[in-house]
Amino acid sequence: MEQIYQEFDQYDFEDDINFQSGLPLILQSRSHENKSKEEIDQIIKKAKWFYFSK
């Protein structure tokens, strides 16, 4: 299990074109309006885990 966390931490989401192209769609959702920076960061982390698990 520890290996999965290490692989996640090392994964280059910034240079993953597919992840980067989908992220704006997630963040533009009306349900994310007026969210704090911490809430947006949590949404991004959830998106990363979802993407990574595929």
pLDDT in tens, the chain (54 residues): 799 999 999 999 999 999 999 999 999 887 778 889 999 999 999 999 999 998
The per-residue pLDDT for 44 is 95
**CA-closest candidate to residue 50, choices 17, 10, 23, 15:** 23
**48, 13 contact by CB (below 8 A):** yes
* Boundaries of every domain in the chain: 2-52
Amino acid type, 11: Y
The per-residue pLDDT for 3 is 93
What is the C-alpha to C-alpha distance for residues 4 and 8, in angstroms, rounded to an integer?
6
CA atoms within 13 A on the CB side of 20: 6
The per-residue pLDDT for 32 is 75
